Amino acid sequence: MIESIKITQEQFTEIEAEMTAKLKGFKDFTSPTYQSNGIDTTDGMVLLLKPKRQQFVDALDIVWQKFDKSIIKVKEI
């Protein structure tokens, strides 16, 4: 299972920027952004993944959902 939120690409851009702004207050958050791209799903939405660190999860105030890996869109080469 993948813990994340499933949103549109437009929502991803907004929410990810808000998340990054909140997490930049932690000195152990060293990335330029939280997540650079949404993970495409089979229904045209994207996934924004739940952080692994509990302090980041607590700071974000997001209700995370569990999704099966089968919803991830696989791109063929």
Q: Please report the DSSP string for 21-33 in residue order.
A: HHHTTSTT--SSS
Overall average pLDDT of the 7-15 stretch: 96
More confident site: 75 or 57: 57
Which pLDDT band, with edges at 50, 70 and 90, does 53 fall under? Answer: very high
For residue 16 the two structure tokens come to 């990810």
CA 33 to chain centre: 11
Q: Identify the pLDDT of residue 27.
A: 92
Overall average pLDDT of the 69-75 stretch: 93
Record the pTM.
0.89
Cα 56 to Cα 26, 41, 74: the distances in Å are: 8, 24, 29
For 5, the enclosing helix (H) or strand (E) is strand 2-7
